[in-house]
Amino acid sequence: MKLGSLRKIAVIAVLLPGAQSLLAIKAQPALSGLQTSAKPHTVTFTWKASLSHVPGYNVYRKSKSETDYRKLNSSLVQCLKYIDSPVESGAAYHYAVRAVDAKGHESANSHEFTIVIP
């Protein structure tokens, strides 16, 4: 007997300073077969580029129990997509994206968005 797969999709609008940005989030938990354990959950999100030319972005996350954001990427994210993995089932995460200019200065946080992992 197969359980099939479970997918949950949420779309959130995010505005980066100086840009009109749309952020799409996709949380992908997958369950299969009664004998196998659940696959790791991931959160994938994309955004529109800043209107100003920037070399990249930093992605931040905090959990419900954290008060400060923690940067997830070790180097600038140069594309307009980020995959956060693994994330914990049942947890709520708050995310923000910051544009980074050529001198390394970050913009203010995008509008915070929250995703709850099924």
| Number of domains comprising the chain | 1
Residue 2 is assigned to a structural domain of this protein: no
Residue 90 is assigned to a structural domain of this protein: yes
Over residues 50-87, the pLDDT tens digits come to: 888 999 999 999 998 999 999 999 999 999 999 999 99
Q: Where are the beta strands (DSSP E) in 4-91?
A: 8-13, 22-27, 41-46, 56-63, 70-71, 81-87
Residue 1 is assigned to a structural domain of this protein: no
Residue 3 is assigned to a structural domain of this protein: no
Give the domain extent around 28.
8-116
Over residues 3-25, the pLDDT tens digits come to: 343 343 333 334 344 443 444 44
Whole-prediction pTM value? 0.69
CATH of residue 21's domain is: 2.60.40.10
Strands of the sheet with 22-27, listed across from one edge: 8-13, 22-27, 41-46, 81-87
